[in-house]
Amino acid sequence: MIAIGSDHGGFELKQTVMKYLQENGYEFRDFGCFTPDSVDYPDVALPLAQSIVSGEFKRGILLCGTGIGMSMVANKIPGVRAALCGDSYSAHMAVEHNNANILILGGRVVGPGLAISIVETYLKATFAEGRHRVRIDKITKIEKEYLRVKG
């Protein structure tokens, strides 16, 4: 089950991504926005990021105009490893090496064809473990030291 969300800047590309998910048998929940009207990206990024760290969803996809705002917000939440990707190689490596649990796309940056290729690559990639686990553990350690962890 995939969590997906966008602001107005990513709204149109999100429709394309959701169509791809639907046609390829992926289940997903849309965290909004639900119309092309202007919204603030933190209001979508936060609940989606929380649903990832709570374990409700294993993978998420966030879209805004550039992907930058969504990245900034999502990566503030301890346990989130959000990767803004503009190419398929990065999307693959974001999972294989960085165990990225959220993919971020810039709806005004990448076209629909490239976006689908990025999403497909991201969803099919697997984490390599080994030395990369050690590095992820170091990210977790930094989160614990520098961010106030709730609970």
Mark 110-149 with x for binding to ligand RB5 (rule: CB under 6 A) and - for no binding.
----------------------------------------
Binding mask 49-68 for ligand RB5 (x = CB under 6 A): ---------------xxx-x
Q: Is 8 one of the catalytic residues? A: no
Q: Decide whether 14 or 59 has the Cβ nearer to ligand RB5.
A: 14
The Cα 41–Cα 30 span in angstroms is 14
Please report whether residue 5 would count as binding ligand RB5 according to CB under 6 A. Answer: no
For position 9 contacting ligand RB5 by CB under 6 A, the verdict is yes
Residue type, 124: K
Interface with ligand RB5 (CB under 6 A): 7, 9, 41, 64-66, 68-69
